[in-house]
Structure 1
C-alpha cells in the first residue's frame, strides 16, 4: 500500500469482495527461486467471478498476477501493487471413445494433473512430468520437455480480458504458440482461467534421444506412459529439476532453465560455427538441430559450459551459482538476492557471446528488474 493510499480507501476497495487479504506478502515465499521483495497485498482467487472481482477492486493499480511462481525473477525491492494469485481448480474429462477433452483449472498443480491423467490411461503428457508451477502457466510460454510441447496437446484456453472484463474461450491457434513463447507471454492483457487438452490413449512415441536411452528403446519407438513418466522424473531429479515436499535440495531453488536454446539463422550459425571451431578445433562437433523454419537450434547448456561456466560455478559471493546438476539452472544458495542472480546471468550471457558469438535469451519472466 503506497503512502498516498489511506486505510479508508483500502477498506473501500476490499469491500468489493468478501475474502480476507493480508496487508503484506513476501514474494520470496511464493517463487521457486525463493527471491523477491514485498508486495503490499495478496489475494487468492478460485473462480472466474473472483478473478473479475479482484481486478475490479484493484482497478488502476499495477497488479502482479501469479500462478505457481516457478518462472519468475522478482526485484529485491518487491512490487508496489497488489498480487492476485490464481487458484482456479478442477479437472473435467469429457471422453469420446479413446479420445478426450480435458479441462484443467489454471491453479491446479501441473505435475499433479499429469500424474492424474497418466493414471487414468491418457497418453502424451508423461514427457512433461515434473515441471513445477500451475497448469495455467503452461500455454503462456508453451512449456516443453523431452520432445513434447504443450502446443501439441492444447485445444483451447479460457481467458479473462483485463481491458474489457470479458471471459472468453480462445483456440490454441490464436495463441501463436512457438518455442517457449506465445502472445500471452510478456503481456498483462489476459489471465488464463483454464486450459483444455485434447488427449488420447494411443501409446506415446519416444522421440527424445536421452529419454529413449533411459527407457532402453530406440528413438521413434513407443513405451508405456507410466514408464515414460518414471523415466522423466528420474532424469529431472538427477538435474535438480523436481521440487518435492520434504526434500531439501538446494539445486531446486531455481526458475528451471534460465536461458532458452538459441535458434540461429544461416549467418548467425556461420559466425557461431567459426567461433566454436576457433576455440575448440576445426574438427569440433557440437549439438545442433534443424528447425521447421530452416534455422538451427544450438544447445545453450553446451555453450555455457564451454564458455567457462561449469556446473557448480559460483556467482557473486557464492550466494548464487550454476546448479551442481544442470548447467542451465541458476540457483539461489540460500543467502542470495535477485541482484546477485542477475549479475551471474549477465556474466554467463556476456561470456557466451564473447566466446561463441551467440546471444542467449532468458526464459523466466522478470518483474521489476531487467537483464539488460
Structure 2
C-alpha cells in the first residue's frame, strides 16, 4: 500500500541532490505502480496540490517548501524481451535508479545506454527530460512509455514518437498533466556500444567517430569523465551537491547566432574559437559553459554559501548550509552576466518548484 513516511512537514531537502528545499505539507512514497496511480487519482479528486518526486536530481524547491502532497516514486521492476535481429526490449518501472539500470544492461551485454552512465535520477525522468550525454539521447533508444493521464484518470501507452522529444525536453516537461509509470527501451545485444559520436569520449577511448567499442569500456570511460567534472554523486563531495547542469546549451537561429558571434568578437577578439554545433536546419547550439566562463565566471566562482563547481562551470553547488534563495541569487548573477556580455539568454534546466529566477 501507499503509506506516508511522515504525517506532515517532511523536508524536501532530504529528497533533492542539492539538499535544498522546505517541507511538503504531506509526503507519500509509492512502491508499486498501482499504488502510485491510486495516490495521484485520490489527490486529483480531492484537489490537493501534487508534487511528483523521483531522484530529486533535477529539482529546485523553494525554501518555503510545497503546500500540498509530495509523492515520491519508488516503483521497481525490470523485464527483458527479445525482439529478434539482435534487438532486445528493456521495460523498466519509473522508480528504478537510472544508473543501476544502465549498469545491469551493460553487464548483460546490451548496448545503447552506456553513454548515459552516471546520470543521477530515476527512470521516470528520462523521457521527460530526454536526458542525454556524450552524444546519446534517450530519444535514440526509447520505444514507448506508460502514462497516467491526470485529465482522464486513465493509463495508456504512448510511442516515443508522440512525446515531442527534443534537446532536453518533451511534451511531458513543464506540465503535470501525466505521470510516467514505466518506460521501454530498444537495445542491441552482442556487447557493443552504440556508435561513439562525442569527440571527447572518442579521444579517451582511442577510436574514431562512429566506431563501436565494448559497452563496458564505454561505460567506464564515461564514468571517469563525469567524475572528473564532479558529475557522479558523492555525499562527501560538495561539487556533486548540485542539480547537474543548471543551464541548457542555448539554441540560436542562424541570424541570432551571427549577431552573437559579432558581440563575442568585440569582447574577446576576432580570432577567438567559439565552440558551436549543428542543431537542425537553420540552428546552432552554443556551449553554455564556454559563455559562462568568458563572461567572467570561472570554475569555483562563489556566492553566499553556494558556488559554481570547481570542476564543471554549469553546475551550481550547495557548499553546505545554503538556501534555495542563495542558489537562485548565484543563478541570476550568472544568467545576467552572460546576457550583458553576449546577448544570450540562458535557460534553467532543472524544474523550479515555488520559485523562479525573476
Q: TM-score range by the shorter chain?
A: over 0.9
2:190 matches 1:205: no
- The question of whether the paired residues in 1 share the 8 Å contact of 2:2 and 2:35 is answered with no
CA distance in 2, matches of 1:304, 1:18: 44
C-alpha displacement at 1:139, in angstroms? 0.5
C-alpha displacement at 1:20, in angstroms? 4.3
227, 240, 263: which one aligns with 2:217: 227
Aligned to 1:323: 309
- SS of alignment partner, residue 321 of structure 1: strand
Q: Describe how 1:183-262 pairs up with structure 2 within 5 A.
A: 183-201=171-189, 203=192, 204-244=194-234, 248-262=236-250
2:150 matches 1:162: yes
Please report the RMSD computed on the Cα atoms of aligned residues, expressed in angstroms. Answer: 1.2
2:71 matches 1:84: yes
Aligned to 1:71: 58
Aligned to 1:343: 329
CA distance in 1, matches of 2:207, 2:89: 29
Aligned to 1:275: 263
Relative to structure 1, the CA distance from residue 18 to residue 180 in structure 2 (aligned partners, 3 Å threshold; closer, same or farther) is closer
Unaligned stretches of 5+ residues in structure 1: 1-16
- SS of alignment partner, residue 111 of structure 2: coil
Q: May I ask how many residue pairs the two structures share in their alignment?
A: 352
118, 124, 141: which one aligns with 1:136: 124
CA distance in 2, matches of 1:366, 1:123: 34
74, 82, 105: which one aligns with 1:95: 82
Aligned to 1:39: 24
Relative to structure 1, the CA distance from residue 286 to residue 164 in structure 2 (aligned partners, 3 Å threshold; closer, same or farther) is same
286, 309, 321: which one aligns with 2:274: 286
TM-score by length of 1: 0.92
CA distance in 1, matches of 2:275, 2:161: 30
- SS of alignment partner, residue 312 of structure 1: coil
2:357 matches 1:357: no
Aligned to 2:287: 299
38, 42, 56: which one aligns with 2:41: 56
- The question of whether the paired residues in 1 share the 8 Å contact of 2:4 and 2:27 is answered with no
Unaligned stretches of 5+ residues in structure 2: none
Relative to structure 1, the CA distance from residue 18 to residue 178 in structure 2 (aligned partners, 3 Å threshold; closer, same or farther) is closer
For residues 179-219 of structure 1, what are the alpha-carbon distances to aligned partners after superposition, in whole Å with 9 as ceiling and x for unaligned? 00000000011000000001112632111001011111122
- SS of alignment partner, residue 33 of structure 1: coil
For residues 15-66 of structure 1, what are the alpha-carbon distances to aligned partners after superposition, in whole Å with 9 as ceiling and x for unaligned? xx66344123110000000000001211111223212221233230111011
- SS of alignment partner, residue 296 of structure 1: strand
CA distance in 2, matches of 1:258, 1:102: 30
